[in-house]
Structure 1
Amino acid sequence: MSSKLPDSMQAQYLEAYHQPYKLRSVPLPKPSEPHDILIQVDAASYCHTDYVLAEGQMPGLPKSFPHIGCHEFAGTVVSHFQSPSKEASVFEIGARVGVPGRSFHACGNCFECRNERVADPVAKDEVGYSVNCVDAENNGLSKDGGFSEYAVVDARQLAPIPDNMTAVEAAPLMCAGVTIYGALKRCGLKKDDRVGILGAGGGLGHLGLQYSVKMGYRVLGIEAADAPLAVAQGIASNLSPKPLVVDARARKASDVVQELGAQDGKKTRGEMGLDAVIVLPESQAAFDYGMTLLKTHGICVIVSFPEKGFHIDSRDVVFRDIKIIGSLVGSNKVLREMLNFSAEHGVRALSNSYPLAKLNELVEEYHKAKGGKLVVDMSLQS
């Protein structure tokens, strides 16, 4: 480790469930394995999962307190393990990198790392590493994450940040971006197919509107709250072709289906509506609304995971042949593809930034549910 690095750092810790973060001064972490890289954190984005974790809604996580959260962050490489792996050596001192939560210290040997059950060549990583490794740690969840001035990360999970993108812009893409991008890929759509995004004004949803339009799909955004609806409408107004954004409180899903069917010149109910929907909210009402929007043989991709789950009407699955699949996060290959796509097409998260010392104020703002993303910018002074 370079002698120029400090001996200690500032970090925001969770000390118990249902408690605010506490700012502490702690020793600098050190790389301990060949794949390890020490980065100086430049930006750390707040995710809904950070809230879920802090509320004790992820059984067994974190593994212990005190705990540093954040699984979507970005930083600059400052140090390697004394004998770095070839994957780590690729990232030179000074390189800017994006860091997702998954997967830290993947085992390389489980069925996930061997890619024995991954059929999708787009999502498939090279044999020996998987974001779904059954034995891996996860930054900000099972191990310490990015709400700190420095963090140890795994070189195999990193993505180079494009030159035309800042750390504050890259950080939200490390979970929100790759998650919605991966969900869109799982829809298996063709150009001009119709896709709907439930929760279109939220952290993932407003990015999904941008990605789906840039991918060449016809897009429907659905919201049911004033502030996120305004975010979705604002995003849509700057896209071409402009997505249709509907207020689910004001319009029935069945009426929207009829409108889309008329636009497409379809007369049979099974032909009307969307080819795929992505469900981001944790509400049964959102799930039901999305299922109603689908054509026969459509695909419903679930990203959210409410504590009580979703009720599924078997008639949708049996008689309408609706396929329901889950999507957790994209592979490392998809992560890099997403970042390059974002840089090329100008996809960015709407965000507000806070200094590390004001993380609890950021969390208070999150609970106002205004949409977009909230980011800790390490360059800001408290």
Structure 2
Amino acid sequence: MKTMRVAQVSRPGGPLELVERPIPDPGPVSVRIKVQACGICHSDAMTKEGLWPGIAFPRVPGHEVVGVIDAVGEDVPGRWQPGRRVGVGWHAWHCLSCDNCRRGDFFACQTGARVTGISFDGGYADYMVAPATALARVPAELPAPDAAPLMCAGVTTFNALRNSGARPGDLVAVLGLGGLGHLGVQYAARMGLRTAAIARGKDKEPLARRLGAAHYIDSQAADPAAELAKLGGARVVLATVTHGPAMGATVGGLAPRGRLMVLGAAESLETSPLLLIGGRRSVEGWYAGTSIDTEDTLAFSVQSGVRPMNEVYPLERAAEAYDRMMSGKARFRVVLTM
């Protein structure tokens, strides 16, 4: 029996362990992928710490997967054949029959949307099996380590921006210049949005400018809301940080009908209801997207030159790479290669 390496978690809060397992066969509506790269996302902590209700162990994390199909189930649509390069992101499956799915709100599937690396084993492995509904085509122009973070961090920022209501020329602020924020600035600038980057410290301004920001606001030296107001008010603030007070501090800088789009999972968020009421401002959460959203993200990234900034580790160093990401020592993204 042929085997593969996986980095698995055997119990909630347990360590990542590199073990050998039999190479799995795909089911009728699934494909097997020979994994080339898998990004490490902060959401992988949901798997490692057992925070997702009903998660079964042992489990292999990883929902930023890029690889090549090497086997398909008998009922898989013809577009997915061995040799095709594909990616798998967070959102893997939805029922298509509940009321929310029928309205196109697949992320809110009432029968329980399946999540890669939580509902089934993810991409910290030489091979993985994924439902055909999870697959996104990956352009040849994107090397696997560059494509992997776009399967979650990329689609999250791109999809939020294109659904934000902002139009070319509008002022859009990106709060944070980390793993999500450095992609958000690139996407916003290349969408033709007048982009302001907000981060802590003057030292981050050169990076923000290189990524495409027209304006930089040092939140340690100035009030972000006041600075945004001087620029005319932001149509959108894309909040990629996980610090609630930092998010709340930008609401006063929104233009009338402006929107704070929350991508970072802060513990709490406080703001003045008067700021929301008086300017008809709003706060909205956003997460990832479906496989077709991911394909759009990848295509736009190729066309516009958006790329993640990565630290790359081999699979056998998965535990070290995971710790570097979760500790905040990694500046942007961390990717495993197989």
TM superposition score category, shorter chain reference: over 0.9
Shift of 1:277: 0.5
| 1:77 maps to 2:53 | no
Structure 1 19/224 Cα, relative in aligned 2: closer, same or farther at 3 Å? farther
Distance in 1 (CA, whole Å) between partners of 2:194 and 2:259 is: 15
Structure 1 292/59 Cα, relative in aligned 2: closer, same or farther at 3 Å? same
Task: Indicate conservation of the 8 Å contact 2:155/2:294, yes or no.
Answer: yes
Shift of 1:341: 0.4
Within 5 Å, which residues of 2 pair with 1:267-306? 272-306=232-266
| 1:372 maps to 2:327 | no
| 1:343 maps to 2:286 | no
Within 5 Å, which residues of 2 pair with 1:235-254? 235-237=208-210, 239=212, 242-254=213-225
Shift of 1:246: 2.2
Structure 1 161/59 Cα, relative in aligned 2: closer, same or farther at 3 Å? closer
Distance in 2 (CA, whole Å) between partners of 1:254 and 1:15 is: 46
Secondary structure (helix, strand or coil) at the match of 1:233 reads helix
Distance in 1 (CA, whole Å) between partners of 2:108 and 2:209 is: 33
Q: Identical aligned pairs, as a percentage?
A: 28
Distance in 1 (CA, whole Å) between partners of 2:329 and 2:302 is: 27
In structure 2, the residue matched to 1:60 is 53
Task: Indicate conservation of the 8 Å contact 1:353/1:375, yes or no.
Answer: yes
Within 5 Å, which residues of 2 pair with 1:83-94? 83-86=74-77, 89-94=78-83
Secondary structure (helix, strand or coil) at the match of 1:103 reads strand
In structure 2, the residue matched to 1:219 is 195
Larger Rg: 1
Structure 1 343/285 Cα, relative in aligned 2: closer, same or farther at 3 Å? same
Distance in 1 (CA, whole Å) between partners of 2:211 and 2:156 is: 23
Deviates more, 1:363-372 or 1:19-28: 363-372
| 1:15 maps to 2:10 | yes
Q: What's the CA shift string for 1:271-316, capped at 9, x where partnerless? A: x32111011212122112221221222111111223x332232112
Distance in 2 (CA, whole Å) between partners of 1:55 and 1:310 is: 24
| 1:40 maps to 2:29 | no
In structure 2, the residue matched to 1:3 is none
Distance in 1 (CA, whole Å) between partners of 2:37 and 2:321 is: 13
Secondary structure (helix, strand or coil) at the match of 1:349 reads coil
Q: What's the CA shift string for 1:104-159, capped at 9, x where partnerless? A: 3x323122332x265xxxxxxxxxxx354333321112221100110011222211
In structure 2, the residue matched to 1:111 is 99
In structure 2, the residue matched to 1:126 is none
Structure 1 257/80 Cα, relative in aligned 2: closer, same or farther at 3 Å? closer
Q: Which amino acid aligns with 1:47?
A: C
| 1:256 maps to 2:227 | yes
In structure 2, the residue matched to 1:326 is 285
Distance in 2 (CA, whole Å) between partners of 1:188 and 1:113 is: 23
Within 5 Å, which residues of 2 pair with 1:51-200? 51-56=45-50, 58-60=51-53, 63-81=55-73, 83-86=74-77, 89-104=78-93, 106-114=94-102, 116=103, 118=105, 130-134=106-110, 135-199=112-176
In structure 1, the residue matched to 2:178 is 202
Structure 1 142/312 Cα, relative in aligned 2: closer, same or farther at 3 Å? farther
Q: Which amino acid aligns with 2:75?
A: P
Distance in 2 (CA, whole Å) between partners of 1:238 and 1:138 is: 31
Distance in 2 (CA, whole Å) between partners of 1:186 and 1:136 is: 21
Distance in 2 (CA, whole Å) between partners of 1:357 and 1:286 is: 37
Shift of 1:215: 0.3
Distance in 1 (CA, whole Å) between partners of 2:98 and 2:60 is: 27
Distance in 1 (CA, whole Å) between partners of 2:128 and 2:58 is: 15
Q: What's the CA shift string for 1:49-84, capped at 9, x where partnerless? A: 11344344x3415x1121100111101000011x23
Structure 1 unaligned blocks of 5 or more: 1-5, 119-129, 261-271
Distance in 1 (CA, whole Å) between partners of 2:64 and 2:206 is: 26
Distance in 1 (CA, whole Å) between partners of 2:8 and 2:104 is: 37
Structure 1 22/95 Cα, relative in aligned 2: closer, same or farther at 3 Å? same
Structure 1 168/117 Cα, relative in aligned 2: closer, same or farther at 3 Å? closer
Structure 1 213/20 Cα, relative in aligned 2: closer, same or farther at 3 Å? same
